[in-house]
Amino acid sequence: MNLSKEDIVRLLVTEDEGERSSLIAESYRTKVSRRGDKVYLRGLIELSNRCRKDCLYCGIRSSNKAVERYELDDEAVVSEAMFAFRAGYGSVVIQSGERNDRAFTSRITRLVRKIKELSDGRLGITLSCGEQSYDIYKEWREAGAHRYLLRIESSTKSLYEKIHPADSRHSFEYRLGCLGFLRDAGYKVGTGVMIGLPFQTPENLADDLLFFKRIGADMIGMGPYLEHRQTPLYAYKDMLLPKSRRLELTIRMIALLRILMPDINIAATTALQVIDPMGREKAVMAGANVIMPNMTDSSKRGNYQIYENKPGVGEDAEITKSNLESNLAACGIGIGWNEWGDFDTAGVPAGRECRVPGQDGNA
C-alpha cells in the first residue's frame, strides 16, 4: 500500500487509540497474509568491539577508553555459529566494530568460508561489519555471505551529520554508496535507522520509511536510540523523548513499514528489549518477522555495550535460547526452524542515490 509522507507523520504522532490499534492490526494482517505468522531466528555473534570509527552515539566508539577491547578467536566464532546451526536457527549474523585492515577483512573471508563448509552450505550468513570497499564486499559475498546489514542511521543528511564527527571517516555519501556496492555485489541488502535521536522529527522518520521503499531494501532493522553516558551525544539527553515513547514510535515505524513494504524482512531488535522485556514480542505482533538472539560467549557480551543496560549480559547462548523460546511460545508466536526466511524481492537495482561520488560502475 502507498502511504504519503503526511499520512505517515500523522500515524506516528496520533493520540487516537482507535487509529493506533487499527494500524497495528492492519500491519499484523499484512504480515501474516504475505509472510506467514512465524519469526526467523538469526544467531548474533559479536565478533569484536574494536572500531576505527567514532560515531557520537555508540558506546564502543574508538575514543571511549573505558571499554576493554576484545576480539573473539576463530574457534569461538565457529563454535558459536555451529551452536546456532545445531539449534535450528537457520542463519547467523556476524557483527563487529568497523575495521578495514587486510588482517581483519581476510579473517572475515576465512570465517565465512569455514562456517559454510562446516554447515554444508546450509547455515545462512549475514554480515554487519560496517563500511568497506566494493572489492571487499564482493570477496565476502563470494566466500558465502549472502545478506549484509548496514544501517543508514538517518536518511536525512543534516541529522546524520549531527550524530557523527565531521570527517572523511564518517561520510553520509559513502555510507549511502555502500548500499549500492552491496546491491551490486549480490547481497540481500539490509539497512535501518535509530528512532528517538536528539534533533530527530516525525518528518525525518517518515522520510526514512520512504527512503527504504525507494531503494528497495530487503531487510530493515530499526531500534530505539538509547543514550550511553560515555558518548558525546549524552549531552543532549534532556532533549530525548521518554523511553516508553521511543518504544511506541519504534513499534509504529515497524507497523507502517510492513504496510509500505509487505514482503521484506523486518527485525525486532534487541534495543526494544532494553526498554521492555517483551519489546521484541510486541514488535513481532506489529509486523516484525526476524529476531537475532545473542550467541556471543557470556564473558565477552558485557564489552559489546553499544548502549547501556544491554539485556542478557552474563547469559550464555543456551539460556538466551530457552528464554526466547518460552517468551515466543507465551505469545503464540511460531519459529521458522532451519529456514533462511528470505523473500525474493528481485533486488531493485540501486539508483543514483546509492552511488559513491566519483565511483560509478561498481560492478
Contacts to ligand SF4 by CB under 6 A: 51, 53, 55, 58, 60-61, 97-98, 130, 306
Ramachandran sector of residue 346 (left: φ over 0; alpha: ψ -120 to 50; beta: rest): left
From ligand SF4, ligand SAM, none, which one binds at residue 61 (CB under 5 to 8 Å depending on kind)? ligand SF4
Question: Which listed residue (159, 178, 226, 285) binds ligand SAM by CB under 6 A?
Answer: 226
Q: Does 108 bind ligand SAM (CB under 6 A)?
A: no
Nearer to ligand SF4, 55 or 226 (CB): 55
Nearer to ligand SF4, 59 or 336 (CB): 59
Question: Which range, of 16-24, 92-100, 210-218, 312-320, touches ligand SAM by CB under 6 A?
Answer: 92-100
Question: Which range, of 136-144, 176-184, 225-233, 280-288, touches ligand SAM by CB under 6 A?
Answer: 225-233
- Other Cβ atoms less than 10 A from the Cβ of 242: the count is 10
Q: How far apart are CA 196 and CA 202, in angstroms?
A: 9
For residues 195 and 275, the answer to whether their CB atoms sit within 8 Å is no
Nearer to ligand SF4, 178 or 260 (CB): 178
Q: Does 58 bind ligand SAM (CB under 6 A)?
A: yes
Q: Write the burial class of residue 230 (CB in 10 Å: 0-12 exposed, 13-18 middle, 19+ buried).
A: middle
Q: 183: Cβ–Cβ under 8 A, 6 or more apart, which residues? A: 189, 347, 348, 349, 350, 354
Least Å from the CB of residue 128 to ligand SAM: 5
Nearer to ligand SAM, 56 or 328 (CB): 56
Ramachandran sector of residue 121 (left: φ over 0; alpha: ψ -120 to 50; beta: rest): left
Site for ligand SAM in 307-326 (CB under 6 A): 307
Q: Does 228 bind ligand SAM (CB under 6 A)?
A: yes
Q: Does 198 bind ligand SAM (CB under 6 A)?
A: no
Nearer to ligand SAM, 53 or 282 (CB): 53
Q: Write the burial class of residue 59 (CB in 10 Å: 0-12 exposed, 13-18 middle, 19+ buried).
A: buried
Q: Does 85 bind ligand SAM (CB under 6 A)?
A: no
Least Å from the CB of residue 26 to ligand SF4: 33
Least Å from the CB of residue 300 to ligand SF4: 15
From ligand SF4, ligand SAM, none, which one binds at residue 141 (CB under 5 to 8 Å depending on kind)? none
Least Å from the CB of residue 63 to ligand SF4: 9
Least Å from the CB of residue 184 to ligand SAM: 19
CA atoms within 13 A on the CB side of 92: 30
Q: How far apart are CA 319 and CA 303, in angstroms?
A: 19
Q: Does 46 bind ligand SAM (CB under 6 A)?
A: no
Q: Does 128 bind ligand SAM (CB under 6 A)?
A: yes
Q: Write the burial class of residue 209 (CB in 10 Å: 0-12 exposed, 13-18 middle, 19+ buried).
A: buried
From ligand SF4, ligand SAM, none, which one binds at residue 223 (CB under 5 to 8 Å depending on kind)? ligand SAM
Residue type, 244: S
Question: Which listed residue (225, 280, 294, 328) binds ligand SAM by CB under 6 A?
Answer: 225
Least Å from the CB of residue 283 to ligand SF4: 21
Question: Which range, of 84-92, 145-153, 290-298, 310-318, touches ligand SAM by CB under 6 A?
Answer: 145-153
Name the residues that contact ligand SAM, by CB under 6 A. Answer: 57-58, 95, 97-98, 128, 130, 150-151, 153, 194, 223, 225-226, 228, 271, 306-307
